[in-house]
């Protein structure tokens, strides 16, 4: 192999057993591994963060099933490229082992028309589609295509996974075996990688290229020096994509419009997808502001719709307005905390029965069995309210929503006390 080949490419796994951190998919009992063994490969969408093995998994599926493998990148491929691949696939001998695999990296970047162009070929089995995405496919992949694919989520790699990967690299690569490198500190490598195995290995390669040939010692000082010298080589949108959006949301949560605008500008200047930013603003409006200012969710939702219509460059003004509004809004995570607690309760308690008075009674038999009996219709009472139990008996009186300490929710809290009395006293 070419000595200039990136370390991540040289060490790319060639079989399922070499893929780390994805046992639920490709381990001995993994669903994808079992599917490959059975010889029935459906179209797939692999969803997970950068550098966790999506491309590698697709290549191994093709190798294991001995199918032709075509690959397109959503960044530089259009409908014409898709049709050319489909035309080639339609002329291949599908009886020798199934339809050819078309792997599309970053499928979330495909437009609706590009995704539409895949539907017929996927439906007829001319190709088996494997799409890779770092974004939630529910947002970015059209429903018609999702309905024809199995969606599998890849795990982010853990600390030990990454350490094992570094140790594997220095004892596996023929050149590094001769050099006998010593890892003094792992933290710097792990921090720079952001959980991205590809970036981890390529950073390791850069550091080793910088250090003396024999017995190089990798510590945090060496890593800092190399990263400082090569910072632009890392800023490709992968790792920074997650770090900067994190800083952006935390600045909004911390009510700092200046910092929020700075991180917004960084994303815009790097070409970040405006819809990605818009979605995060919607989440922030509900998670961090919530009932302290319910209008925030309406504004953020309308911001997303406007961004879809306007696009760059003008949509940066809309994103800026929404960012400032959210950053300067009062904050409450009461709704966020409430649903987390409610989900934990639902999971812990199992399938508790719906109280009889709350059950629907569309048939005479159900009415005779007591379904809906003793239910009190709120609108028939003064103020459109009457106290009655709406939770299963086993968790009666449980309080999940704790109103935040802000003006808007203080009013809500007082109203709840008037209705429910001691249930909502602090």
Query: What is the arithmetic mean of pLDDT over 166-185?
Result: 89
pLDDT, one tens digit per residue, over 106-131 is 898 888 888 999 999 999 989 999 99
pLDDT, one tens digit per residue, over 4-25 is 788 889 999 999 999 999 999 9
List, by residue range, all CATH 1.10.8.60 domains of the chain: 159-234
- Looking at the DSSP assignment, which residues form a beta bridge with residue 43? none
Task: Check whether 95 has a pLDDT greater than 50.
Answer: no
- In the 3-class helix/strand/coil scheme, how is 93-122 assigned residue by residue? CHHHCCCCEEEEECHHHCCHHHHHHHHHHH
Residue 345's region, left for phi above 0, alpha for psi from -120 to 50, else beta, is: alpha
List, by residue range, all CATH 1.20.272.10 domains of the chain: 239-327
pLDDT, one tens digit per residue, over 127-142 is 999 999 988 888 788 9
Query: What is the arithmetic mean of pLDDT over 192-213?
Result: 87
List, by residue range, all CATH 3.40.50.300 domains of the chain: 21-153
CATH of domain 348-424: 1.10.3710
Three-state DSSP state, 130: strand
Within 10 Å of residue 158's Cβ, how many Cβ atoms?
A: 12
ω into 86 cis (within 30 of 0): no
Confidence of residue 228 (pLDDT cuts 50, 70, 90): low
Residue given tokens 């929020």 in the structure block: 260
- Under CATH, domain 21-153 is a member of which superfamily? P-loop containing nucleotide triphosphate hydrolases (3.40.50.300)
pLDDT, one tens digit per residue, over 269-284 is 878 889 999 999 999 9
Within 10 Å of residue 220's Cβ, how many Cβ atoms?
A: 14
The reported pLDDT for the residue numbered 285 is 97
The most distant pair of C-alpha atoms in the chain lies apart, rounded to whole Å, by 86
The whole-angstrom separation of Cα 72 and Cα 103 is 6
Architecture of domain 239-327 in this structure: Up-down Bundle (1.20)
Structure tokens that stand for 299 in this block: 């504004």
List, by residue range, all CATH 1.10.3710 domains of the chain: 348-424
**Residue, of 215 and 130, whose pLDDT is higher:** 130
What is the DSSP-derived secondary structure letter of residue 238? S
ω into 313 cis (within 30 of 0): yes
Q: What CATH class does 159-234 carry?
A: mainly alpha
Query: What is the arithmetic mean of pLDDT over 180-197?
Result: 86
The whole-angstrom separation of Cα 17 and Cα 263 is 40
pTM summary value: 0.64
């Amino acid at each position: 192999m070419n000595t200039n080949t990136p370390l991540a490419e040289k060490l790319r796994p060639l079989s399922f057993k070499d893929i780390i951190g994805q046992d639920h998919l490709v381990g001995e009992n993994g669903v994808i591994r079992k599917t490959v063994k059975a010889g029935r490969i459906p179209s797939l969408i692999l969803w997970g963060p950068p550098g966790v093995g999506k491309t590698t998994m697709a290549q191994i599926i093709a190798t294991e099933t001995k199918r032709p493998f075509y690959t397109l990148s959503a960044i530089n491929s259009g409908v014409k490229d898709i049709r050319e691949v489909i035309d080639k696939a339609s002329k291949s001998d599908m009886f020798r082992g199934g339809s050819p695999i078309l792997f599309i990296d970053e499928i979330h970047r495909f437009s609706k028309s590009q995704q539409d162009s895949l539907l017929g070929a996927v439906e007829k089995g001319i190709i088996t589609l494997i799409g890779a995405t770092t974004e939630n496919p529910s947002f970015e992949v059209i429903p018609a295509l999702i309905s024809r694919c199995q969606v599998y989520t890849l795990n982010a790699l853990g600390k030990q996974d990454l350490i094992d990967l570094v140790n594997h690299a220095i004892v596996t690569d023929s050149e590094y075996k001769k050099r006998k490198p010593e890892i003094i500190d792992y933290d710097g490598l792990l921090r720079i990688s952001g959980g991205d195995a590809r970036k981890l290995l390529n950073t390791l390669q850069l550091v080793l290229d910088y250090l003396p040939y024999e017995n190089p010692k990798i510590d945090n000082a060496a890593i800092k020096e190399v990263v400082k010298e090569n910072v632009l080589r890392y800023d490709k949108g992968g790792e920074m994509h997650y770090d900067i959006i994190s800083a952006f949301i935390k600045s909004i949560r911390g009510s700092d419009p200046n910092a929020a605008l700075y991180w917004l500008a960084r994303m815009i200047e790097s070409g970040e997808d405006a819809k990605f930013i818009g979605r995060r603003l919607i989440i922030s409006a509900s998670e961090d502001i919530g009932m302290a200012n319910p209008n925030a969710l309406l504004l953020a939702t309308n911001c997303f719709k406007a961004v879809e219509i306007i696009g760059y460059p003008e949509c940066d003004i809309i994103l800026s307005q929404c960012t400032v509004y959210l950053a300067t809004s009062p904050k409450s995570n009461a709704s966020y905390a409430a649903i987390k607690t409610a989900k934990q309760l639902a999971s812990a308690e199992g399938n508790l029965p719906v109280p009889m008075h709350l059950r629907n009674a569309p048939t005479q038999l159900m009415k005779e069995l007591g379904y809906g009996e003793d239910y009190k219709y709120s609108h028939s009472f003064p103020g459109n309210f009457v106290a009655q139990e709406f939770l299963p008996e086993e968790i009666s009186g449980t309080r999940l929503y704790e109103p935040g300490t802000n003006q808007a929710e203080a009013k809500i809290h007082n109203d709840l006390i008037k209705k429910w009395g001691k249930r909502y006293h602090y």
